[in-house]
C-alpha cells in the first residue's frame, strides 16, 4: 500500500487524536444539553424525516458533529420519530485529509483531475484512502450517531459510510435505536460501475431491522434500482425501506424516478429517500429527499407523501407513516398477486445463468 | 422497426365492418411494422356488437362475456388476422378470454403479417377483482420473434409485477408488448409504476396500448406510449411517444443501435447480484 510510510502513520495518529470519542462526547454533551426526546408514537404511526444534506468538507470533525446535531435537533423539534441521513455521509470528513479541500476547489474551478501515479509508483485507489482513514472514522461516526439517537430518543439511519471491513471496503448504512443501540447495518448490494472501479465490495444479503416501531431496512441508493431488493425485504416483512442516496448526475425528474418510487408501488412499503446534494471533488450530487407510500395510501394517488422542493439545496421532507393502514392495504390489496409456480419455473434458472455469465467477466467490467 | 400502440378512442365498435375500416385507415396512416391494441378489446367489441353490457355493472358484463368468449373469439380472431394480413404487420389485438379444461384465462395473441397467430400469452397475475371472476393465472412467459427482435407480452396487471419484465429480459427480450386498461381516478397517477418502470429496470423497448373508453359504468383513461430506457429518449423521459387528445395512438421508430449502446454503457442487468437473491427468490414467495 502506498500510504505506509512513517509520515502517514504519524498523520493517522493525529487523526485518531482529533477524532477521539472522548473529545466528541464532550462536544456532544454541550450540544445536546437542551435535547428532548421525540413525542410518544400513537399506535402504529410514526413521523419520519428524510434529510437532504448539502455536502461540504470539514477540517475539524467536531464541526461535522455539530452539523449532524443541528439536523437531528431540527427534525426532533418537528416531531420526528425516525430520521434518515444520506449515502456517503462520511465524505465531508475527507476534509480532514491534507490537500483534499484544495483539490476540490481546483476541480470546481475547472482544473483537470490529478494525473495518475508516476510510472513505478503504486496507484492509490479510493479503497486505499478508506482503508487508511476508516479505522479512525468508524468509532467517531458510531459515537456521534449513537449519541444523537439516544439524546433525542429517536430511530436514526445515519446514512451510509464507505468503511473498511477486513480487507474489503464496503458502502454500509447504520441504523440506531432510540437508546443509541446499533440495531443493524446494511452493505450496499448493487454497486454502480464507478464503485467497482473504486475497489468497493458489494454486500451479500438484505437485512431486516425489527424494532418496536416497525420492521425497517436501509439498503443503499442503487439497490433501489432493482425490484429484487424491495421484494426480498417486503417478503421478509419490511414495512419501511429507507434508501440513502448520493446521485452523481445533474437532476432530471425521470432519471430520479427510477429508484424508490416505483419500488414502493411494486412492493407495498413506505419508502424514505435521504439525499446528498452539492458539488465535491468534481462530482455534482443531486436528488430530492422524500417520503413515499403506495399510491393507494396517498389521497391524490401520487405515491408521494412529502418531497423536498429543490434537488440542489438543503432540506427536509417529513410525513406520518401509518403502518396499520399499510397492513390493511396488504390484506385487501386491489391488484397485488403472487404466482409462485411461474417464479419457480423461471427465476432460479435465469438467475443461475446470469451468475455463471457474470463469473466469466471481471467484477464491474 | 416502427411500432404503434392504439387506444381505440374514437374507433366505432358497434359494426364489425366499420370497426375494421376505421382501424385499417389508422394503420395505413401509421405505416408500422407492429400495432398493439389495449386490454379488453375483445370484451369491448363483443359487448358493443352483441349487446352484452349491463350499463351499470362492469363485473356482470364481464362475467357474461366469459360465457360467450369461446364462440366470440372465432369472430374476433378472424377479424384481426385479416387486418394484420391486409396491412402486412404484426398485430396484437388486445386481450380476450380463452377457456381450457374448464379454466378461464385472460390472454392475448400475436398475429404475423401473413395473418397467422404465432403465439399466445396468458396473464400471469390477477387483480382481486379478476380473481373474483374465477379467472386462472398463466404460468409461462415465452418470447416470440418480431422482425428479428425477441418480444414478450405483458398483459394487464402483469405490468405492476416486476418479476414478469425481469423474466422476459433475462430470457433476452428486446421488446415488450403491453395490453393495458387503467380505470380513471387516482390509479392513473401510478401508470409509470407499470411498464415505464419495467422498461427502466430492464432496458428493453415497450409498446404500451392503454384503453380509452367506457364500459359497464367504468371509464378507462391510461395513456398509450412507446417507451425505451431514459437515456435514449427525448428529454430522458423514457418515452419515445405518447398519445394525446385527438391523437389516439403513440408511434415511434425503435433504433436498436441506441439500445445496444446504452446496454453497453450502463449494463443494468449485469449489475444484478443473483448471489444475494439465492435462497430468497423464489423461496420467500407465498400464495395470495
> Which of A28, A16, A19 lies closest to A146, judged by CA?
A28
- Asked if pLDDT for residue A269 goes beyond 80, the answer is yes
pLDDT category of residue A117 using cuts at 50, 70 and 90: low
Report CB contact under 8 Å: A346, B189: no
Closest-approach residue (CA) in chain B for A334: B128
- Are A227 and B159 in contact, with CB atoms under 8 Å apart? no
Query: Which cell numbers in the block locate residue B282?
Result: 423464489
Q: Is A365 exposed, middle or buried (0-12, 13-18, 19+ CB in 10 A)?
A: exposed
> Which of B261, B241, B259, B260 lies closest to B251, judged by CA?
B241
Contacts of A228 in chain B (CB under 8 A): 166, 272-273, 276-277, 281
Alpha carbons B257 and B227: distance in angstroms, whole number: 15
Alpha carbons B113 and B33: distance in angstroms, whole number: 8
More confident call, A280 vs A81: A81
Of A262, A295, A339, the CB nearest to B187: A295
Query: Which cell numbers in the block locate residue A245?
Result: 442516496
Q: Where are the beta strands (DSSP E) in chain B?
A: 2-6, 34-37, 90-93, 96-100, 103-111, 117-122, 144-146, 149-155, 175-180, 205-210, 212-215, 218-221, 225-227, 239-242, 249-253
Using one digit for the tens of pLDDT, what is the confidence trace for A45-57?
A: 999 999 999 999 9
Alpha carbons A160 and A175: distance in angstroms, whole number: 9
- Asked if pLDDT for residue A4 goes beyond 70, the answer is no
Tell me the CB-side half-sphere exposure of residue A42, using CA atoms within 13 A: 5
Phi, psi at A149, each rounded to 5°? -60, -45
Q: Which domains does chain B have, with CATH numbers?
A: 2-271 (3.60.110.10)
pLDDT category of residue A305 using cuts at 50, 70 and 90: very high
Using one digit for the tens of pLDDT, what is the confidence trace for A13-51?
A: 899 999 999 999 999 999 987 666 677 777 899 999 999
Average pLDDT, chain A: 92
3-state secondary structure of B26: helix
ipTM confidence score: 0.96
Interface subset of A 230-289, CB within 8 angstroms of B: 231-232, 235-236, 252, 254-255, 257-258, 261-262, 265-266
Give the pLDDT confidence score for residue A40 in this predicted structure: 76
Give the pLDDT confidence score for residue A290 in this predicted structure: 98
Using one digit for the tens of pLDDT, what is the confidence trace for A150-202?
A: 999 999 999 999 999 999 999 999 999 999 999 999 999 999 999 999 999 99
Q: Which of A196, A207, A224, A258 to mutate to test the interface with B (most CBs of B within 10 A)?
A: A258
Q: Which of A190, A228, A286, A344 to mutate to test the interface with B (most CBs of B within 10 A)?
A: A228
Give the pLDDT confidence score for residue B167 in this predicted structure: 98
Beta-carbon count within 10 A of A13 CB: 10
Using one digit for the tens of pLDDT, what is the confidence trace for A76-92?
A: 999 999 999 999 999 99
Give the pLDDT confidence score for residue A359 in this predicted structure: 85
Q: Which residues contact A192 (CB under 8 A, 6 or more apart)?
A: A221, A222, B271
Give the pLDDT confidence score for residue A363 in this predicted structure: 53
Give the pLDDT confidence score for residue B75 in this predicted structure: 93
Give the pLDDT confidence score for residue A9 in this predicted structure: 82
Give the pLDDT confidence score for residue A104 in this predicted structure: 73
The CATH class for the domain spanning A6-359 reads alpha beta
Q: Residue B14 gets which letter from DSSP?
A: S
- Asked if pLDDT for residue A103 goes beyond 60, the answer is yes
3-state secondary structure of B140: coil
Alpha carbons A246 and A53: distance in angstroms, whole number: 10
pLDDT category of residue A113 using cuts at 50, 70 and 90: low
- Give per-10-residue mean pLDDT for chain B (288 aa): 96 94 95 97 91 77 92 95 97 97 97 98 98 97 97 98 98 98 91 98 98 92 98 98 96 98 96 96 88
B174: preceding bond cis by omega (within 30 degrees): no
CA A312 to the chain's CA centroid: 17
SS3 breakdown of chain A: % helix, strand, coil, rounded to 5?
Answer: 40, 25, 35
Report CB contact under 8 Å: A342, B137: yes
Q: Which residues contact B209 (CB under 8 A, 6 or more apart)?
A: B5, B6, B7, B36, B37, B38, B39, B92, B94, B178, B179, B180, B224
Q: Which residues contact B131 (CB under 8 A, 6 or more apart)?
A: A337, B288
Using one digit for the tens of pLDDT, what is the confidence trace for A321-349?
A: 999 999 999 999 999 999 999 999 999 99
Give the pLDDT confidence score for residue A365 in this predicted structure: 53
Report CA-CA distances (Å) from A72 to A64, A145, A230, B141.
Answer: 13, 10, 27, 49
- Asked if pLDDT for residue A1 goes beyond 60, the answer is no
Q: Is B59 exposed, middle or buried (0-12, 13-18, 19+ CB in 10 A)?
A: middle
Closest-approach residue (CA) in chain B for A348: B282
Give the pLDDT confidence score for residue A200 in this predicted structure: 95
Alpha carbons A240 and A84: distance in angstroms, whole number: 12
Interface subset of A 191-220, CB within 8 angstroms of B: 191-193, 202-206
Amino acid at each position: 500500500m502506498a500510504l505506509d510510510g512513517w509520515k502517514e502513520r504519524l498523520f493517522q495518529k493525529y487523526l485518531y487524536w482529533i477524532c477521539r470519542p472522548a473529545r466528541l462526547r464532550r462536544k456532544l454533551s454541550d450540544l445536546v444539553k437542551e435535547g428532548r426526546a421525540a413525542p410518544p408514537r400513537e399506535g402504529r404511526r410514526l413521523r419520519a424525516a428524510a434529510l437532504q444534506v448539502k455536502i461540504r468538507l470539514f477540517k475539524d470533525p467536531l464541526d461535522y458533529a455539530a452539523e449532524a446535531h443541528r439536523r437531528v435537533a431540527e427534525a426532533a423539534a418537528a416531531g420526528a420519530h425516525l430520521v434518515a441521513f444520506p449515502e456517503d455521509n462520511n465524505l465531508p470528513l475527507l476534509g480532514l485529509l491534507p490537500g483534499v479541500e484544495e483539490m476540490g476547489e481546483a476541480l470546481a474551478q475547472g482544473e483537470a483531475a490529478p494525473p495518475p501515479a508516476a510510472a513505478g509508483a503504486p496507484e492509490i485507489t479510493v479503497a486505499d484512502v478508506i482503508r487508511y482513514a476508516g479505522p479512525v472514522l468508524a468509532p467517531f461516526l458510531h459515537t456521534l450517531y449513537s449519541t444523537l439517537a439516544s439524546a433525542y430518543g429517536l430511530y436514526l439511519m445515519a446514512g451510509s459510510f464507505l468503511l473498511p471491513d477486513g480487507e474489503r471496503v464496503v458502502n454500509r448504512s447504520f441504523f440506531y435505536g432510540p437508546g443509541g443501540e446499533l440495531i443493524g447495518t446494511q452493505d450496499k448490494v448493487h454497486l454502480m460501475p464507478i464503485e467497482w472501479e473504486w475497489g468497493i465490495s458489494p454486500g451479500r444479503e438484505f437485512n431486516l431491522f425489527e424494532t418496536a416501531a416497525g420492521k425497517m431496512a436501509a439498503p443503499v441508493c442503487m439497490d433501489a434500482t432493482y425490484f429484487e431488493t424491495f421484494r426480498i425485504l417486503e417478503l421478509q416483512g419490511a414495512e419501511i425501506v429507507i434508501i440513502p442516496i448520493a446521485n452523481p448526475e445533474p437532476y432530471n425528474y425521470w432519471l430520479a424516478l427510477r429508484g424508490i418510487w416505483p419500488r414502493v408501488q411494486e412492493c407495498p412499503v413506505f419508502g424514505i429517500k435521504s439525499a446528498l446534494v452539492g458539488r465535491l471533488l468534481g462530482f455534482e450530487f443531486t436528488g430530492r429527499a422524500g417520503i413515499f407510500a403506495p399510491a393507494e395510501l396517498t389521497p391524490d394517488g401520487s405515491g408521494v407523501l412529502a418531497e423536498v422542493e429543490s434537488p440542489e439545496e438543503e432540506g427536509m421532507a417529513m410525513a406520518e407513516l401509518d403502518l396499520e393502514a399499510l397492513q390493511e392495504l396488504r390484506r385487501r390489496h386491489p391488484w397485488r398477486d403472487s404466482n409462485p409456480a411461474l417464479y419457480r419455473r423461471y427465476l432460479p434458472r435465469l438467475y443461475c445463468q446470469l451468475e455463471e455469465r457474470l463469473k466469466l467477466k471481471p467484477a464491474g467490467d | 422497426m416502427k411500432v404503434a400502440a392504439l387506444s381505440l378512442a374514437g374507433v366505432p365498435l358497434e359494426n364489425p365492418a366499420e370497426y375494421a375500416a376505421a382501424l385499417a385507415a389508422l394503420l395505413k396512416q401509421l405505416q408500422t411494422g407492429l400495432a398493439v391494441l389495449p386490454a379488453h378489446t375483445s370484451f369491448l367489441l363483443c359487448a358493443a356488437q352483441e349487446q352484452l353490457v349491463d350499463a351499470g355493472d362492469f363485473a356482470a358484463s364481464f362475467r357474461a362475456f366469459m360465457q360467450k368468449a369461446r364462440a366470440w373469439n372465432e369472430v374476433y380472431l378472424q377479424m384481426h388476422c385479416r387486418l394484420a394480413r391486409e396491412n402486412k404487420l404484426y398485430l396484437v389485438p388486445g386481450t380476450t378470454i380463452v377457456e381450457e379444461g374448464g379454466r378461464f384465462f385472460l390472454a392475448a395473441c400475436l398475429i404475423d403479417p401473413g395473418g397467422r397467430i404465432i403465439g399466445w400469452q396468458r396473464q400471469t397475475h390477477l387483480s382481486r377483482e379478476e380473481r373474483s371472476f374465477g379467472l386462472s393465472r398463466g404460468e409461462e412467459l415465452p418470447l416470440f420473434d418480431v422482425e428479428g427482435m425477441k418480444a414478450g407480452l405483458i398483459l394487464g396487471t402483469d405490468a405492476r409485477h416486476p418479476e414478469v419484465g425481469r423474466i422476459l429480459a433475462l430470457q433476452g427480450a428486446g421488446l415488450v408488448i403491453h395490453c393495458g386498461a387503467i380505470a380513471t381516478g387516482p390509479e392513473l397517477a401510478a401508470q409509470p409504476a407499470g411498464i415505464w418502470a419495467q422498461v427502466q429496470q430492464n432496458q428493453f423497448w415497450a409498446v404500451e396500448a392503454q384503453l380509452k373508453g367506457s364500459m359497464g359504468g367504468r371509464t378507462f383513461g391510461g395513456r398509450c406510449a412507446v417507451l425505451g430506457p431514459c437515456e435514449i429518449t427525448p428529454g430522458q423521459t423514457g418515452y419515445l411517444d405518447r398519445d394525446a387528445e385527438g391523437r389516439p395512438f403513440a408511434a415511434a421508430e425503435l433504433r436498436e443501435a441506441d439500445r445496444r449502446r446504452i446496454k453497453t454503457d450502463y449494463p443494468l442487468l449485469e449489475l444484478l447480484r443473483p448471489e444475494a437473491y439465492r435462497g430468497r427468490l423464489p423461496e420467500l414467495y407465498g400464495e395470495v
